[in-house]
Amino acid sequence: MLERRTPLESMPEGLMPDGLHLAAVRDRGLLLLQSASSPAMQQALERELGLPLPAAQQVTALGEYALLWLAPGQWLLDLPAKMTASIETALGGRLEATLAAVTDLSDALISLELGGALAPEILMSGCSVDLRPHAFPPGCLARTALAAVPAILWNPGAPERIRCLIECAFADHMLSWLRSATRR
Amino acid sequence: MSRHAHRLERGGRIDRSRPLDFEFDGRRYEGFAGDTLASALLANGVRIVGRSLKLHRPRGLIGAWSEEPNAIVQLGEGETTVPDLKATQVELTEGLVARSVNCWPSARADVFAFLGIFAPLMPAGFYYKTFKWPSWRWFEPAIRRAAGLGVAPTRPDPDRYEERHEHCDVLVVGGGPAGLAAALAATRAGVRVVLVDDRPVLGGALQWEEKLIDSRPALEWVAEAERELRAASHTRVLTRTSAFGCYDHRLVALSERVAPQSRLPIRERLWHVRAAQVVLATGAIERPLVFPENDVPGIMLASAAMSYAAQYAVRPGTRTALLTSTDFAYQAAKALQARGIEIAAVVDTRADPGEVAADARRAGFAVLAGYGPRRVHGARAVRALEVARLAGGAPAHTEQSPLRIECDLVCVSGGWTPTVHLFSQARGALRYDAQRAALVPAAGPKGLQCAGAAAGNFALRECLTDGFAAGRQAAKAAGARADAGVAPMAQPERCAVAPFWSAPHADRRKAWVDLQNDVTRADLALAVRENLRSVEHLKRYTTTGMALDQGKTSNMNALGILAELTQVPIPEIGTTTFRPPYDPVTLGALAGRRIGALYHPLRRTPLERQHAALGAVFEDFGAWRRPAWYAAAGRGRQECIRAEKRAARGAVSVFDGSPLGKIEVRGEDAALFLDRMYYNSMRTLAVGRIRYGIMLSEHGVIIDDGVCMRLAEDHFLVSTTGGAAERIFSGFEEWLQCEWPQLRVLVTNVTCAWGNIAVAGPRARELLALLSTDIDLDPGAFPHLAVRCGRLEGVPVRIARVGFTGELSFELNVPAGYTAALWELLLARGASSGVRPIGVEALQELRTEKGYLHVGTDTDGRTLPADIGMGDILARKSEDFVGRRSLMRAEAQRPDRLQFVGLAADDPATLLPVGAHVLADPQTRRGSHGYVTSSCMSEALGRSVALGLVQAGRRRLGEPVEIYCDGRLSSAHIVSPHWYDPKGERLHA
């Protein structure tokens, strides 16, 4: 079997200046869920994972699963990598009778987590959304531009943490941008 | 002249224990910490600080901050130099080097001063009238060289700049009394507040107007307010920060000069502040008076003279006359006298200034009421002011006048102009207030209000109450519940004004309106005589208000004079449009960190590191960084590309096709939907098969091409060209969401989810057979233009028998994370088959000799399907599709359209250059019948090959043509574009 790699392989991790912490979120899978009917999706997810659908620009989480709202009729399921294939099949089966699609995007996006009290400020040097804790509490999500590329930002609930989902083709760009943003 | 010759003994908010050396125009001087460059120059007795733009007249300081039109300097040297700063806004630092712009060798002794002699030859509209023959372009380079202000650094800027987005409930612009009161009210109400001020210290005019607030010195109140604001965790105070632009929905742009003492290696920071409520407490700018010779160094705004004396302990003159049409000058007279400056007289253009003049007379001031200025004596410095009694608005000769007042400083005070720039930029309406002789804010956009002097409330008492009320109201509108408390209080004061727009005069002396651009009252009068009576025309024709200072001291006077000249009241004339920036912003701040590698985000393929290890030379193709070719030691570019092409034709090649757009289309109406999106019919495509298709815009023009694969009855995979994935995907979404929401289709962009490696060449199947897969690769089971899903080396794969080289070809699609390992495996296993990676250059040449067109290279913004030989489908396809209607137009069916053909140079060794034209008439070398779009030397065919768009090309196959490029002619024949393997036998191998 072929070896699986990510553009974040060579990413240096750990503490940066000002108590910032940057880490690649590894061993996670991403399933894009599309459905013309929210109730059908709601039912499939509740039966399969017990997860309720999030409201617009929100995230619902249960254990190791997080469900991100992306657009009307579109969600992203963030789940343990090893569960991706089986959940994809299971959800696909439950949604078979409706107009719906489950797509594995695990390799399409990279997931970065920036921690530390200054994390919002660093990200806001290239993003116009207010990411400070009072405006972006746990469970909040924004689809926006970060460093001039499309990004999904969300608050996973841990204090002072922000997750960034970026197209994998922009991984190098995002890492150089973060390096320049945190240079002191 | 001794150092600090004009420094007052006491006072000022400068640090006399920290002297700072600096250099101006090559001479060394000394100032103190806390000085601006302007105040330090004045302290050293430097009166001439700049030269005017057109006539190079000597000019002195008029203002003390952003309104200054004369003291324009180039700061610093080498790569960090900044042009066109106002000396009044430059904080003095140790070792500072500055020179005045627009003069040589110095402002003091400028060799271009002779230009003044030619002033009569340079009236308003001088450029338009003079440089007409033979054409403006003939003169432009020389004039641009002569007219430059400042110089840009020639080497890259080593400094760092930052960008920051900020959100708040209340943004207060301006840290004067009104702004501080507003910020205090909002902060006390408990909302998130940002207060910005462009000066290094808060307080605004309170820094030099010595007044009382709540019965104690105003500066004590300022210090306490600042402490309270800085201590509040929900309030941010930014000094040295200029709010230069106000945009839709209360987005305000700020440029922060990071404090020189800050240890951060950052020079400037650009802020984008989005506020729920904006309070503009931007103050007001004093107006000078327009009278003959009003540009002699030593004529200064009364407020500026007060600022120099009180803030910097600098004596702007020893004996001053005040020339005014307002009550404010009497305050200034008292303040300047208190600083030890002798007051020669207060000359008031108003016949009866009332109590304020009576008070002044009682205090011992000489007041000349009803007098106006006639002229100034002195060329390089003021020696005396000549005034006369006004009769019918003009200074007249009477028994006592003209009167000559000996003085070395004339303080002018013509009223206050509210700083409404930001309000107006945000489309706030202005209204002329005759009592205040000012344009004041009227209706504003939602959530945006002016307060204090910016709203026309010039007295301190009104500034404080108005500012506090605005802050309280803004906080409430932003959702505050807490009470803001009581507004600070000050004494009432007199602020009457009777505008005196200009002193009419008969002689040839010049009365300056715009000092930086050298626009006189006579220029305005000439423009009006030439019927340029609209304020917008007047501005552009005379250039008044178009200098670096954007008319901060001149626009209102120009408007008043225009009203007098045209006999049209000011409200009917209106005003010119205020545009950002309020004050100049450096390009460094605007660029921020978007420079170098971060300038344009590029996509990288999953094989970036593998390509680099193989010596790839990368180039940017669309939004992707891709290997153009692979360099080998000791070989040139052409040689390497030839070797890549040989491998593709003779053995087997691997090509990274990951950037190819991949869009999944699913649902029961998927086939119907794609039938509408493609020109080609897609409903008839069998499951497991692939069809080449083109997509059209609504105008029928080809916008993209690629293959469409049917994976299941209700599941298609659309492949787009590398740069088009997002564009095509958004197009799909738009049609589905806006036009056909009833179609049961879902589209998903999976471009980045899958890696793509094209294995092509006669030994491609042999190489794939070395890998483990459950897909039958036999040509009988897996023919050309078929697609198979299965597993390859244990991972999911979609293999498509398509390619762009014209050889037996398999495109392997695997989840992106496995692409690198698969690539390495193919190169390792294929070593014995002669496998070679090929780059975009080789692929382009291979497809050119095959005659495959490349959309955007071999087509342009006019190319229709029939032009590339696909016209027959239109008649066969019964269903509607995007662009169909446009193909019915007569223009689309003209027989002489440019058509896609091959072009064969008669000399097989001649490479026809891309862009070369097919001559319509070879004799005269005139007219074009089309052009070469792709061209290369073909190894396989042993000759040059070219593709092109030629008028009625397909009917002219075999016809000889002459091809012209850069003076060279080549003979060629029009041929079929299918140079290599025209029957396509190699594809089906």
**DSSP readout, B825-841?**
HHHHHGGGGTEEE--HH
Q: What is the pTM of this model?
A: 0.92
Which residues is A141 bridged to in the sheet? Answer: A154
- pLDDT tens-place string over residues B318-343: 999 999 999 999 999 999 999 999 99
What does DSSP say about strands B624-630 and B603-604: parallel, antiparallel, or unpaired?
Answer: parallel
Q: Which of B113-117, B234-238, B652-656 has the lowest mean pLDDT?
A: B113-117
**Pairwise CA distance, residues B567 & B562, whole Å:** 8
Extended beta strands in B700-808, E state: 702-712, 715-720, 746-749, 754-760, 787-792, 795-800
Q: What is the mean pLDDT of residues B620-631?
A: 94
Sheet order of strands, B616-621 included? B603-604, B624-630, B616-621
What pLDDT shows up at residue B135?
A: 83
Give the C-alpha distances (Å, rounded to integers) separating A59 from A53, B66, B946: 8, 49, 56
Optimal mutation site among B595, B748, B813, interface A, most CBs of chain A within 10 A: B748
Q: Is the pLDDT of residue B399 over 60?
A: no
Phi and psi at A61, nearest 5°, equal -135, 150
Extended beta strands in B497-644, E state: 512-514, 519-520, 603-604, 616-621, 624-630
Phi and psi at B564, nearest 5°, equal -65, -45
Q: Are A128 and B272 inside 8 Å of each other by CB?
A: yes
3-state SS, residue B738: helix
DSSP state of B739: I
Q: Are A104 and B817 inside 8 Å of each other by CB?
A: no
Closest CA to B104 of B92, B95, B113: B113
User: Shortest CB distance from A2 goes to which of B272, B750, B794?
Assistant: B794
What pLDDT shows up at residue B145?
A: 72
Ordered by start, the domain boundaries in chain A are 12-26+107-182, 28-104
Residues with Cβ within 8 Å of residue B832, at least 6 apart in sequence: none
What pLDDT shows up at residue B114?
A: 78
Q: Are B708 and B685 in contact (CB under 8 A)?
A: yes
Residues with Cβ within 8 Å of residue B887, at least 6 apart in sequence: B696, B700, B864, B865, B866, B874
Q: What distance, in Å, lies between the first and last C-alpha atoms of chain A? A: 44
Q: Do domains A12-26+107-182 and A28-104 have the same CATH topology?
A: no
Chain B contact for A181 (CB, 8 A cutoff): yes
Class of residue B575 by CB neighbours under 10 A (exposed 0-12, middle 13-18, buried 19+): buried
Q: Are B551 and B545 in contact (CB under 8 A)?
A: yes
Q: What distance, in Å, lies between the first and last C-alpha atoms of chain B? A: 95
> What type of residue is B410?
V
Sheet order of strands, B319-324 included? B299-301, B409-413, B319-324, B342-348, B367-369
Q: Is the pLDDT of residue B128 over 90?
A: no
The counts of H helices and E strands in chain B are 23, 51
- Provide, as residue numbers in chain A, all residues whose Cβ is less than 8 Å from the Cβ of B162: 125
Chain B contact for A161 (CB, 8 A cutoff): no
What pLDDT shows up at residue B444?
A: 87
How confident is residue B120, by pLDDT bands cut at 50, 70 and 90? confident
CA dihedral of B99, B101, B106, B107, whole degrees rounded to 10 = -110
Which residues is B951 bridged to in the sheet? Answer: B898
Instruction: Output the six-digit token pair for B47.
Output: 């009166």
Task: Calculate ∠ Cα B29-B33-B34, nearest 5°.
Answer: 115
Instruction: Output the six-digit token pair for A100.
Output: 């719906």
Chain B contact for A97 (CB, 8 A cutoff): no
Would you say the C-alpha torsion B32, B35, B36, B40 has a positive or negative sign?
negative
Q: Are B502 and B521 in contact (CB under 8 A)?
A: yes
Higher pLDDT, B171 or B263: B171
What pLDDT shows up at residue B855?
A: 95
3-state SS, residue B441: strand
User: Shortest CB distance from B162 goes to which of A4, A125, A147?
Assistant: A125
**Pairwise CA distance, residues B654 & B758, whole Å:** 6
User: Shortest CB distance from B598 goes to which of A2, A167, A176?
Assistant: A176
In a structure prediction context, what are the per-residue pLDDT tens digits for chain A, which is 184 residues long? 899 999 888 777 776 777 889 999 999 999 999 999 999 999 999 999 999 999 999 999 999 999 999 999 999 999 999 999 999 999 999 999 999 999 999 999 999 999 999 999 999 999 999 999 999 999 999 999 999 999 999 999 987 899 999 999 999 999 999 989 988 6
Omega cis (within 30) before A12: no
Q: Which of residues 128-147 of A touch B (CB under 8 A)?
A: 128-130, 132, 135, 147
Q: Are B605 and A124 inside 8 Å of each other by CB?
A: no
What does DSSP say about strands B216-217 and B212-213: parallel, antiparallel, or unpaired?
Answer: antiparallel
Would you say the C-alpha torsion B213, B219, B220, B223 has a positive or negative sign?
positive
CA B124 and chain centroid, separation: 30
> What type of residue is B710?
R
A12-26+107-182: CATH, from 3.40.50.920, 3.40.50.1820, 3.30.70.20, 3.30.1360.120: 3.30.1360.120
Percent of chain B with pLDDT over 90: 85
Which residues is B616 bridged to in the sheet? Answer: B630
Instruction: Output the six-digit token pair for B700.
Output: 């029928």
What pLDDT shows up at residue B397?
A: 63
Percent of chain B with pLDDT over 70: 98
Q: What is the CATH number of domain A28-104?
A: 3.30.70.1520
**Pairwise CA distance, residues B968 & B945, whole Å:** 18
What pLDDT shows up at residue A19?
A: 83
**DSSP readout, B236-266?**
EEE-SEEEEEEEGGGEEEEEEE--TT--SSE
What pLDDT shows up at residue B52?
A: 86
What pLDDT shows up at residue B133?
A: 78
Cβ contacts from A onto B, under 8 A: 122
Higher pLDDT, B125 or B851: B851
Contacts 24+ apart (CB under 8 A), B26-34: B26/B99, B26/B105, B26/B106, B27/B106, B29/B3, B30/B3, B30/B4, B31/B92, B32/B92, B33/B92, B34/B92, B34/B312
Q: Are A2 and B821 inside 8 Å of each other by CB?
A: yes
Phi and psi at B373, nearest 5°, equal -75, 140
**Pairwise CA distance, residues B932 & B930, whole Å:** 7
Q: Are A4 and B818 inside 8 Å of each other by CB?
A: yes
- pLDDT tens-place string over residues B658-684: 999 999 999 999 999 999 999 999 999
Closest CA to B640 of B842, B943, B938: B842
Chain B contact for A3 (CB, 8 A cutoff): yes
Q: Is the pLDDT of residue B876 over 80?
A: yes
Residues of B756-794 as b/e, b for ≥16 C-beta within 10 angstroms? bbbbbbbbbbbbbeebebebebeeeebebbbbbbeebbe
DSSP state of B76: S
What is the crossing angle of helices B328-338 and B355-362, to 10°? 20
User: Shortest CB distance from B598 goes to which of A5, A105, A180?
Assistant: A180
Query: What is the residue whose two structure tokens read 């108003």?
Result: B350
Q: Please name the helix (run of DSSP H) or strand (run of DSSP E) that holds residue B412, with its range, or none.
A: strand B409-413
Nearest-CA distance from B645 to chain A in Å?
28
- pLDDT tens-place string over residues B38-86: 999 999 999 999 988 888 899 999 999 999 999 999 999 888 899 999 9
Chain B contact for A34 (CB, 8 A cutoff): yes
Nearest-CA distance from A180 to chain B in Å?
8
- pLDDT tens-place string over residues B477-523: 999 988 888 999 999 999 999 999 988 776 778 999 999 999 999 99
CA dihedral of B104, B110, B114, B119, whole degrees rounded to 10 = 90
Phi and psi at B471, nearest 5°, equal -65, -45
When the pLDDT of each residue in chain B is averaged and rounded to a whole number, the result is 94
- Provide, as residue numbers in chain B, all residues whose Cβ is less than 8 Å from the Cβ of A99: 667-668, 744-746
DSSP state of A169: G
**Pairwise CA distance, residues B388 & B406, whole Å:** 14
Rg for chain B (alpha carbons), in Å? 38
- pLDDT tens-place string over residues B813-832: 999 999 999 999 999 999 99
Nearest-CA distance from B158 to chain A in Å?
14
Optimal mutation site among B251, B665, B750, interface A, most CBs of chain A within 10 A: B750
Assign 3-class secondary structure to B153-187.
CCCCCCCEEEEEEEEEEEEEECCCHHHHHHHHHHH
Q: Are B322 and B346 in contact (CB under 8 A)?
A: yes
Chain B contact for A118 (CB, 8 A cutoff): no
Instruction: Output the six-digit token pair for B723.
Output: 């740069």
